Amino acid sequence: MALRYEPRLLIMCFFIEKIIFLLCMLLAVRFYSFSGENTSS
């Protein structure tokens, strides 16, 4: 497996996945807050 040969790739993938997840969550929260600002105070 390439995981044993290049552990950096796994770390990079993990970091990228985490960043993407955080970005998606932030975007969703922002959109939800912006969309539901009129509905709830």
Three-class SS state of 36: coil
Overall pTM surpassing 0.85 (yes/no)? no
**Measured distance CA(38)–CA(33) in Å, rounded:** 9
Count of CA atoms in the C-beta half-sphere (13 A) of 26 = 6
pLDDT of residue 13: 93
Residues in CB range of 10: below 8 A, 6 or more apart: 3
Q: pLDDT tens, position by position, for the chain (41 residues)?
A: 555 678 888 899 999 999 999 999 999 999 888 887 766 55
Helical spans, DSSP H, in the chain: 2-5, 7-35
Q: Do 33 and 41 touch, CB atoms closer than 8 A?
A: no
